[in-house]
A and B are shown apart, each in its own frame.
Chain A
Amino acid sequence: MAGTSTYQPKSGFAKWFEARLPIVGLVHSSFVVYPTPRNLNYWWTFGAILSVMLGVQIITGVVLAMHYTPHATLAMGSVEHIMRDVNYGWLLRYLHANGASMFFVAVYVHILRGMYYGSYKEPREVLWILGVIIFLLMMATAFMGYVLPWGQMSFWGATVITNLFSAIPLVGESITTWLWGGFAIDNPTLNRFFSLHYLLPFMIAGVVILHIWALHVSGQNNPTGIDIKSKDDTVPFTPHATIKDSFGIICFFIFFAWFVFFLPNYLGHPDNYIPADPLKTPAHIVPEWYFLPFYAILRAIPSKLGGVIAMFSSIAILIFIPWLDTSRVRSATYRPLYRQFFWIFVATGIGLGYLGSQPPEGIYVIAGRILTFYYFAHFLLVMPLIGILERPKSVPSSITEAVLAKTRSGHGAAESKA
């Protein structure tokens, strides 16, 4: 759907430059005249929100690195130095720490939007898989970032997560020693995590470019899940999507700012203000909230290796859903049965998140096992079977028809956006 560029350089310099590097034309065709479905709703603004959040994290991260010291004895002191002494250091750090949480809020909405409207389905499989890779890189980046203040949760979170690799038969112990650069988490580990935490966001940016490239090859999905059939089905990216995305970003920034200015430590853990002590484990180790569902899956399996395999599988399974979903209809709008199971799945994810924050005993363990089973069943049983059993509602013949039908049936003569 990228369409050939209609960009016509006007000035002499622009013509000269375009003949040598047609980048202005590329931007023009990708973000100005690019045909975007006319019925995109606000769930579609999260892609732009995520791009902006990546920018926020990179900018605040680069300036924080100017004041932070990656050393076991100095790290926490340098973080406090940022908070107390550095000009606006408190703001930059709170933006960065809460920005990570906001990044995950947005990415979970973005992933669930894709699952609801069938955005992973043919011909967008590669686009979807690139998204899963970005998600994995984000998790690695966030995990290593959380280690940097070198508090108790940093240290013991890093211990538990790196020890996951010790579950691998035969080579597990060598891998953990290699990851640590010693026989336990220590200064070499902090040093390399800082290096990688600085590197990975740029790798994310690279994969984001591929993600957008793939998006512009297959074209955007839309709430009806129907392909674009005529020019009437689309509006130019600018001003329509540009303005809608900007409005979405501003609303999201208000939410973000509420945390930064009024609840800056709400999503963190107080134990992480205690300096790391390799001889004493805190009573309750919990990861950051965005990892809790996966942590619950890890703990649900009563075997070390089994738990680790289940946890990694719970993310890896996302790669396969373009082929696990057997339905011919993309959008859940026209899939009455799948729509219900979609919301059950969302509830399962939230339930696992809650269980991940609770101690692993009694009823929590049993509930964790049930929800873990259902999590996998959603992908391995529900998705393939519903596609076969369900009778989808009749799908409109075009995006324009769907939009006009909605406008006509709506009260108060809502104006068509076209």
Chain B
Amino acid sequence: MTPGLPRAIGSKGSDLASTDSAHRAEPTRRDFLYIATGAAAAVGAVAVAWPLIDQMNPDAAALALATTDVDISTVAPGASVTVKWRGKPVFIRNRTPEEIEAAKAVPLADLPDQNSRNENAPTATADDSNRAAAGKENWLIMVGICTHLGCVPLGQHGPFGGWFCPCHGSAYDTAGRIRQGPAPENLHVPKYEFVSDTQIRIG
């Protein structure tokens, strides 16, 4: 691969080593051609490999399903709906005043994950106001996938009255924040907006 490096090392073949050291001093045109050819081949191999790797990423059809509109007029307080967005379940919950109070009463220091995990307020803390819909604190909209290993948590289950994952025992509170168990993060809040008072667009 690298001509010019000594081919023989050690006591044997000292003649060879001395002739080689003469070569080593001055790289030749041939050395340059070897390296240039090798570099071109490496770039070519990467260029060929990339389409073979990238074909596994989400295709145009999957990306086209990027937004989903949901009518929430029928979701009464204390009820939830689960809709499918990009193949994932999204929980839309109309929280009761008790649930909101319970979530607000939790001091930030008690939370294992203090980031809001809210794509609409990416850097905010995990206070209830940063988890619920802006200005509509009864609405909680989250991707229904446990942040541990991707199971769908059960609603209104578990020790904190929020969500509970049956797979490995992660428990979330009424604001969907992780409180107990192996999950590292709060349930993620996707990007969404209220198109009208009864219609939201996820994505």
Contact = CB atoms under 8 A, between A and B. Distances in A.
**Do the two chains belong together in a single complex?**
yes
B62 A279 contact: no
B86 A281 contact: no
Contacts of B62: 181-183, 186, 188
A159 interface: yes
Interface string A385-397: 0000000000000
A178 B182 contact: no
Given A160-B151, A303-B182, A278 B87 contact: yes
Interface in B148-203: 148-152, 165-169, 182-184
Given A183-B58, A183-B87, A360-B168, A304 B151 contact: no
A281 B56 CA distance: 26
Interface residues of B, number: 27
A293 interface: no
B70 to A, nearest CB: 14
Interface string A173-186: 00001111111111
B84 interface: yes
A281 B87 contact: no
Contacts of B184: 303-305
A243 to B, nearest CB: 47
Given A160-B167, A281-B152, A304-B148, A181 B57 contact: yes
A280 B86 contact: no
Interface in A329-361: 359-361
Contacts of A305: 184
A70 to B, nearest CB: 15
Contact of B89 (A166, A185, A279): A279
A184 B149 contact: no
B88 interface: yes
B179 to A, nearest CB: 14
B152 A178 contact: no
Most buried by B among A164, A182, A307: A182
A184 B182 contact: no
Contacts of A183: 58, 62, 86-88
Contacts of B21: none
Contacts of B152: 279-281
A269 to B, nearest CB: 14
Contact of A163 (B58, B88, B149, B169): B149
Contacts of A117: none
A285 interface: yes
B56 A181 contact: yes
Interface size class of A (residues with CB under 8 A): 35 or more
Given A177-B58, A181-B57, A304-B184, A361 B169 contact: yes
B50 to A, nearest CB: 12
A177 B169 contact: no
B18 interface: no
A363 to B, nearest CB: 14
B87 A279 contact: no
Contacts of A410: none
Interface string A148-171: 000000001001101110100000
B166 A283 contact: yes
Interface in A268-305: 278-285, 299, 302-305
A282 B166 CA distance: 8
Nearest to A184: B87
A5 B139 CA distance: 79
A206 B164 CA distance: 45
B126 to A, nearest CB: 18
Contacts of A28: none
A402 B13 CA distance: 48
Contact of B150 (A159, A181, A282, A283): A159
A361 B88 CA distance: 28
A304 B59 CA distance: 29
Contacts of B166: 281-285
Nearest to A192: B56
Contact of B84 (A163, A279, A283, A285): A279
Given A183-B87, A279-B84, A160 B149 contact: yes
Interface of B: 53, 56-59, 62, 82, 84, 86-89, 144-145, 148-152, 165-169, 182-184
Interface of A: 156, 159-160, 162-164, 166, 177-186, 188, 192, 278-285, 299, 302-305, 307, 359-361
Given A181-B56, A302-B182, A304-B182, 15 more contacts: A159-B151, A163-B148, A178-B53, A178-B57, A181-B58, A182-B62, A183-B58, A183-B87, A188-B62, A192-B56, A279-B144, A279-B152, A281-B152, A299-B182, A307-B182
